Amino acid sequence: MKALGGVANALLGLFVDDRLFALALAVWIGAIAAAAAFGFGPAQLRGVALFAGLVAILLTSVARAARP
């Protein structure tokens, strides 16, 4: 069973290097998608919020990785 878990982690590692970064992206995109599905705010505002959130997540990830 441990070998199967190791294989799964290795396979996941091929696609996802930073799990927290990937999780944050998925949550943010899901939140914006939910806002769009329920019609919160104008589409332009949701687009700006999506872009700003993705940039903030990226900058946070870079800052975390740059720390010694």
DSSP letter, residue 17 = S
Q: Which of 8, 20, 32 is nearest to 58 (CA)?
A: 20
Tokens of 19: 């799990």
Q: Which of 21, 15, 44, 22 is nearest to 32 (CA)?
A: 44
* Rounded CA Rg of the chain: 16
Report the predicted TM-score, pTM, of the whole model to 2 decimal places: 0.77
Please name the residue that has the structure tokens 């959130």.
Answer: 53
pLDDT of the chain, 68 residues: tens digit per residue = 788 888 888 877 777 778 889 899 999 999 999 999 999 889 999 999 999 999 999 999 999 989 88
Tokens of 55: 């940039």
